[in-house]
Structure formats: C-alpha cells, structure tokens
A and B are shown apart, each in its own frame.
Chain A
C-alpha cells in the first residue's frame, strides 16, 4: 500500500522569506502523481501544485515550486516570498495506479509571521 509521510507537523516562516515543506512517499508504482493541497481555516481543500512522476522537470506555480526526487521518493514544496495568506495546513498527496484515489500525509501546519 502507498504511504505518504510528512515529518514536520508544524513550520513557521517570516513574511517574505522562503520555507520548504518535506514529504516522502512509498510506492511500487512507476507511474503516479503527487500533489500539494492547502487547507486554510475555511477547511476548503485547494490544489497548490502537482507533479507527474514521468516528468523530470520540477513543477512550478508562481511562488510555489517542488523538488521532486523520484529515486529518493521525496517531494518537497518550496514557498518563496511567503505571504500572510499562505498560512494554512499543507497536505502532500499521492495518486497512482488505476484508481486515482488520493493518499494523504498527516499535514504540516504553516504559520507566517509578520
């Protein structure tokens, strides 16, 4: 079974600084997707960024980028120029095989200090 591990229950960053959230996963699949979801206090799950495993290039969305290391099964999220609105719970998620269901990590609570 696939597992997703987020080893940092909480992180904090100063506004305008950069922070990296860690995620590792375990799978025997060769083709899969990885995601970072943001969950603010409103509870809405918001997709931040996704990475296809067959792509070597790391995904980037504005201030958000990932460091995808397939051999190490590592998928970290870097947030640059952190903003107060980035404060939220961040979940790393895996989707693979033929069922496309998401397996989530336990989440990392990010605090942004002004």
Chain B
C-alpha cells in the first residue's frame, strides 16, 4: 500500500531554532506539494515541485522558509529561524498525471505537527 511518509510526526522547538521537515512521496509521483494547516488560515499551499523543479513557492515566507527536492524520493521544508506563528500542521502531498496527462488527485502524508515555543 503506497503512502506518502513524513518525518517527524511531531516537533516541539524553541523560537529561533532551525526546523527541517521531510517527505517521501509515493514512488513514481512527479509532483510534490507542501501545505500548512492552521486554525486561523485553514489549509494553504506553501510550495510545489514538478519533476523536482520548484514551480510555485509564492505561499512561503521567503525570508525564513525554504523548500527543496534533493532527489525524487525526498522533499524537505526548512524554517530558519522558527517563530511561534509557524506553529501548525505541515502536510506533504504527491500526485502523478493520469493517462490524459491531468493531475486529478493528490495523496496526502500524515502531517508534521510543529510547535514553536
């Protein structure tokens, strides 16, 4: 049963510390998305990649957030320095084109719950 995996599942850190979240997309999926979920903002897109190339990171605070795909099996989201307002659940999702070349489903990982004190 192929699944998107995310590590860590929970992270508690102090303000100013670096946080790295990792995602392993489903094998064969060529598009990876990072979403953030908060009570106030709901679910919002931070960034996404296709074939490891960043296509849209307009949802990310550029001064402290960075997203990369070192290889096809790993996506990372880093926050440096972290702030209390970054406390949220961060989801990774992956997708692939159907026979018509359309992406009509994203598969979500279990999320990383981040708490910044």
Q: Which residues of A come within 8 Å of B, CB atoms? A: 33, 35, 37, 42-47, 50, 52, 91, 95, 99-107
When distances are taken between beta carbons in the complex, the residues of chain B under 8 Å from A44 are 108, 110-111
Residues of B75-117 at the interface with A, using a CB-CB cut-off of 8 Å, are: 89, 91, 93, 95, 102-108, 110-111, 113
Measured CB to CB, the closest approach of chain A to B38, in angstroms, equals: 11
Which residues of chain B are within 8 angstroms of A91 by Cβ–Cβ distance? 43
Cβ-closest 6 pairs across A and B:
A45-B108, A100-B103, A104-B43, A106-B42, A101-B45, A43-B111
* Cβ A100 vs Cβ B95 within 8 A: yes
Which B positions have Cβ atoms within 8 angstroms of A?
31, 33, 35, 42-45, 48, 55-56, 89, 91, 93, 95, 102-108, 110-111, 113
Q: Which residues of B contact A46 (CB under 8 A)?
A: 108
Q: Which residues of A contact B95 (CB under 8 A)?
A: 100
Could you tell me the distance in whole angstroms from the C-beta of B107 to the nearest C-beta in chain A?
A: 8
Given A44-B110, A106-B42 in contact, is the A101-B91 Cβ separation under 8 Å? no
* A residues near B55, Cβ cutoff 8 Å: 99
Name A101's closest neighbour in chain B (CB-CB): B45
Chain B interface main SS type: strand
Q: Can you list 28 A-B pairs with a CB-CB distance of less than 8 A? A: A42-B110, A43-B89, A43-B110, A43-B111, A43-B113, A44-B110, A44-B111, A46-B108, A50-B104, A50-B105, A91-B43, A95-B103, A95-B104, A95-B106, A99-B48, A99-B56, A100-B31, A100-B95, A100-B106, A101-B33, A101-B45, A102-B35, A102-B43, A102-B45, A102-B106, A103-B45, A105-B42, A106-B42
Which residues of chain B are near A101, meaning CB under 8 Å? 33, 45, 48, 56
Among B44, B48, B91, the residue within 8 A (CB) of A45 is B91
| CB of B108, distance to nearest CB on chain A (Å) | 4
Query: Min CB distance, B28 to chain A, in Å?
Result: 16
